[in-house]
Every structure is written in C-alpha cells, then in structure tokens.
Structure 1
Amino acid sequence: MRAGSVVLIIWLVIGGFAAAQRHYFDDADTSCADFGTLTLTIVAGPLNYFGVNPKVHCETPQPSK
C-alpha cells in the first residue's frame, strides 16, 4: 500500500511539472476548458513527456437574454 501511494504522489508531481512547463498556472482567469485541461495534464503525469497532450473542450451555460 505504501509503495502505491509513493508512486501516485510522484506521478501527480510529474504531472504538475508538465502543467507548469506549459504555463497552465499563469492565467488567473480560468474557464471550464482551461481547468479541465490543467487537471487532465496533471492526471496524465509522465505520459505528458511521451507525447500525450490532453485538451478539454467544454462550454458553460450562458444566462438567458
């Protein structure tokens, strides 16, 4: 159990580094798609360095006029 936890933490830290290198933490104005892409990049972890470039496309509901 302990080894799995350590691997998971290292996996997520590597994903955080990948997101930082792509400057996903720089923008304070975050949309649904930006947040999804950031989260997916962190979860993908080391796969980012093997060509995985996750992108999320979503639209938030707009207020009625």
Structure 2
Amino acid sequence: MRIASVVLILWLIAGAFAAGQRNYYTGPVDNCNQVATIAVTILAGPLNYLGMNPKIACQTPQPSK
C-alpha cells in the first residue's frame, strides 16, 4: 500500500510539472476547457513526456432567455 501511494504521488507530480512546462498555470482560467485540460494533463502524469498531449473541449450550459 505504501509503494502504491508513493507511485501515485510521483505520477501526479510529474503531471503537474508537465502542465507547468506547457504554461497552463499562467493567466486566469476563462472557461471549462482550460480547467479540464489542466486536470487531464495532471492525471496523464509521465505519459505527457511520451508524446501524449491531452486536450479537452467542453461547453458550459448557458442561462435560458
């Protein structure tokens, strides 16, 4: 259990580092696309360094008129 926890933490740290290298943390977050892309990049972890470049497109519901 302890080894799995360490591996998971290192995996997420690698993903957060990759998102930082892609400048995802600079500037304000304007829409759900940016939030989702940052989250998926962090979850992808070291796979980012093997060529994976996850991007998510989403739409938030608009208020009715």
Both proteins in one fold, TM over 0.5 = yes
Give the fraction of aligned pairs with identical amino acids, expressed as a percent.
57
Q: State the secondary structure of the residue aligned to 2:63.
A: coil
Aligned position for 1:52: 52
Number of residue pairs matched by the alignment: 65
Measured after TM superposition, the shift of residue 29 of structure 1 is: 2.7
Aligned position for 1:3: 3
TM, length-normalised to structure 2: 0.93
Give the 5 Å matches for 1:14-25.
Answer: 14-25=14-25
How far apart in 1 are the matches of 2:50 and 2:30? 26
Q: Structure 1 regions of 5+ residues with no counterpart?
A: none
Runs of 4+ in 1 over 4 A off after TM superposition: none
Q: CA RMSD in A?
A: 0.9
2:35 matches 1:35: yes
Measured after TM superposition, the shift of residue 30 of structure 1 is: 3.3
C-alpha distance after superposition, 1:3-52 (max 9, x if no partner): 00000000000000000000111122331111000000000000000000
